[in-house]
Amino acid sequence: MEDLRKQIIKLREDFTKGVLNEEEIYKNPASQFEFWLQQAVDAKVSEVQAMDLATVSAEGKPTSRIVYLREFKDNGYWFYTNYNSKKAKQLLNNPNASITFFWPDLERQIRIEGIVEKGSNDMSDDYFNNRPYDSKIGAWASNQSHFLTSRQELDEKLEELKKQFTPETIVRPDFWGGFKLNANYYEFWQGRKNRLHDRICYTLENNNWKINRLAP
């Protein structure tokens, strides 16, 4: 264990792969996001669509977890989940949330903050209907974020549901669907040498995006 601690304290990367300039960025952060996302996809960054979603409890306690980005449009960012899960309960009580992407191969981080709303039923139906049967059954089977007595309980429920729903008859459960984060703040981070990274943020003020550079 002592060895591991020594290894961790010594780990140090110098970031040299790019720069981020005010002159080269898009005026609209959604375009900047899409530009970087395309570059990350082209670079075959692993799990490029994975983002850390942070929410807060009624008592103001933060909690975060990874979810997948599934759609983006006009500064809106969609993900899908169980509406009875911990994250969903928190979001329905307090819609302030943030999402963070980290693309190590490009030495980039993007932070997006905003207000979350429930996605439309039509979009959730579309997304659900295009999932593989096993994922659809999985959505029905899991009472996400609630205690299970054992793995067996989940496996048995899955088998029961497979008898109940065929690939032709399965529909989206009403306790499962999308959320959309409407962004009002972005930060684009490009790693640089000696910890003097580039950080450019966009803040929404009176329907205009104000651009600033942040100290690293």
Q: Which residues bind ligand FMN (CB under 6 A)?
A: 47, 50, 65-68, 79-81, 85-87, 144-145
Task: Report the alpha-carbon distance of residue 16 to residue 66 in Å, rounded.
Answer: 27
Instruction: Kindly report the length of the chain.
Output: 216
**Catalytic member of 65, 151, 192, 195:** 195
Give the HSE-up count for residue 35: Cα atoms under 13 Å, Cβ half-sphere. 11
Residues 189 and 178: their CA atoms lie apart, in Å, by 28
Please report how close the Cβ of residue 88 comes to ligand FMN at its closest, in angstroms. Answer: 7
The residue assigned the tokens 């139906």 is 125
CB of 195 to ligand FMN, least distance (A): 28
The residue (of 30 and 51) whose beta carbon lies closer to ligand FMN is 51
- 195 carries an active-site annotation: yes
Smaller CB distance to ligand FMN: residue 77 or 202? 77
Tokens of 58: 């009624």
Task: Label the pairing between strands 76-82 and 71-73.
Answer: antiparallel
* Nearest-approach distance from CB 144 to ligand FMN, in angstroms: 5
As annotated, the active-site residues are 195
